[in-house]
Amino acid sequence: MQTSNSSSGSPSGPPLRVLFIHDAAIDDFVATMLLVSMPGVDLRGIVIASADCVPAGGMDAASRLQQFIGRPDIPLALSEARGWNPFPWQYRGDCVAFVSKTDLASCTSTVSTPPPSGNALIESLLESAVASAEPLTILLTTAFTPLTDVVRARPHLAAGIEQIVWMGGAINVAGNLDPSTLTPGVANTHAEWNVFWDPFAVHDALQMFEGIHIFPLDITNSVPLAKPFLQTLQNHAATCTFSKLASEGYALVSSYPFYDAWDVCATVWLARPDLYAPAQDLRLEVEQWGSNQGWLKESTTAARQQHVHLSLANVQGLYDYVAAQLARSS
């Protein structure tokens, strides 16, 4: 995998070829709308992981979203990855509500039963990237498992990856495991869910890849679903279908005090790295066992460095960019 300190897509340069791997949370669907609206981004495929979603509901919502935004051509598939610590059911139903309580209800899913294999799609896209010498950016807003499962089995496919952009972990801030949704004693104060779901896959990724762009809770904590931002989306909703759907989706989760624009924060960096403070190059390790399972932390022994984005340079600029990009219709 090649490494880079900044994203490479631009309207005037070569396209940024992106494979988006997510787990069908509301914020992932908003990120999808952003990706298809970004100049210089070529979204090559979407793979859903059965993590923070109901897998059938997540695929249904993702397919309907592609119809809604006029991009049914983007390959969509379901990962075969399995996690270690399942997300609480209280969180996983958001994708179902997103269909039933928004304009997606009028769209029709085209997902087959069973759905296409996400592992096969990742393999195919990476094989093509290797053969054409046109490597992909992997945008990963779920656990690492869908990617590490494939690359572990076929290591040569790593050559098809230009850069990895991952939302996950909590370095200098508390994690986001909620004791009210987990068995007592499991919810340690350090782990973030995308690590906790499968800490072993994160360990593998840190061994396999160098220069991963990591967006932990340290940075995403600064982008909650702020009322002025939500009001801007609502103001645009009368004339812009993207804004309306984003507004409807966020309305389903805006009452959750913990809900931030986690995945949108990582996604915007692809187009607007100027909104972010410089990344810190850190060596990281993850607790794989014990009471602190899923704790991603600095390491004195790790062989590889990663690019860790800990803060924004312009928080309001990020909100403004997202609102402006969504002010459109399919």
pLDDT digits (tens, 9 = 90+) for 98-121: 999 999 999 999 999 999 999 999
In a domain, 4, yes or no: no
Q: Is residue 5 part of a domain?
A: no
- What pLDDT is stored for residue 37 in this prediction? 97
Domain count, the chain: 1
The pTM score is: 0.96
- Asked whether residue 150 is assigned to any structural domain, the reply reads yes
Q: Quote the pLDDT of residue 184.
A: 81
Average pLDDT of the segment spanning 225-236: 98
Residue 7 included in any domain? no
What pLDDT is attached to residue 112? 96
Q: State the residue range of the domain holding 119.
A: 16-326
* Token duo for residue 233: 């989306």
Residue 6 falls inside a structural domain: no
Confidence of residue 185 (pLDDT cuts 50, 70, 90): confident
For helices 315-326 and 26-37, the axis angle rounded to 10 degrees is 70
- Which CATH number do you get for residue 229? 3.90.245.10
pLDDT at 145 over 80: yes
Q: Which residues pair with 166 in a beta bridge?
A: 140, 214
Tokens at 200, concatenated = 């072993």
CB 80 within 8 A of CB 116: no
* Average pLDDT over all residues of the chain: 95
pLDDT for the residue 6: 56
DSSP string, 151-195: HHH-GGGGGGEEEEEEE---SSS-----GGGS-TTT--SS--HHH
AA identity, residue 157 = L
* Residue 138 belongs to some domain of the structure: yes
pLDDT in tens, 39-89: 999 999 999 999 999 999 999 999 999 999 999 999 999 999 999 999 999
What separation in angstroms does the CA of 54 have from each of 31, 86, 279, 316?
A: 19, 11, 34, 33
pLDDT confidence band for 4 (50 / 70 / 90): low
310 is a domain residue: yes
User: Is 8 among the domain residues?
Assistant: no
